[in-house]
Each structure stands twice: as C-alpha cells, then as structure tokens.
Amino acid sequence: MSTTANPVLGDIQKGAKLNHVQTVDKSEPIIDKDVHIKKNNHDDLLSDISKGANLNKTDTNDRSKPAIDPNTHIKENNKGALLSEIKAKGAEN
C-alpha cells in the first residue's frame, strides 16, 4: 500500500500551510507610569527583628484558683462504696 493511495496520509505528506502571526508579549507586569517602586532594604528589617522588642514589666493577678470560703466544709465522697455495691450486684446476676 502506497502512502498516496490513502488521502489522509497524502495530506500529511504535503504539509500544512501556516499563516504568519505576530506575537504579543504580555509577560511584563502592567504598572502605571506614575507608580514608583522603592527598593526595599531587607537588612534593616532583619536587624530590627534580631534586636528584639522592648517589653514592659507587668504584674499578674492570678485568679484561676477557685475562691472558696474557708468556713465551707465539704462532705466525704462515698462513690467508692457505691461502685463496689454495683459491682457486687452485677456479679450476682
């Protein structure tokens, strides 16, 4: 089978006709003419950061502890006896 017998292969062998195109380079950022970009001096910024911040001394008033009246009496917790009673009844069944 020859390549000219198949019309598709014949078209491929002829090659395609390409039109001339003009490229438009849009990779440059769009910045108005009146905008001025200043050069940033990173060394000054890094030196300010490495110096550290001036901190002021503060006094803390820790109020996280509950305020319970010293005259308050708390009854004894009897949960241990209750749990052992429940276990004993569960073992019987």
pLDDT digits (tens, 9 = 90+) for 46-83: 888 899 888 899 999 888 888 888 888 888 888 888 89
Give 3's pLDDT tier (boundaries 50, 70, 90): low
Identify whether the C-beta of residue 3 lies closer than 8 Å to the C-beta of residue 10.
Answer: yes
Task: Give residue 20's pLDDT.
Answer: 92
- pTM beyond 0.75: the answer is no
Indicate the burial class of 91 (C-beta count within 10 angstroms; 0-12, 13-18, 19 or more): exposed
Residue given tokens 């949960």 in the structure block: 79
Task: State the pLDDT at residue 4.
Answer: 61
Residue scoring higher pLDDT (2 or 47): 47
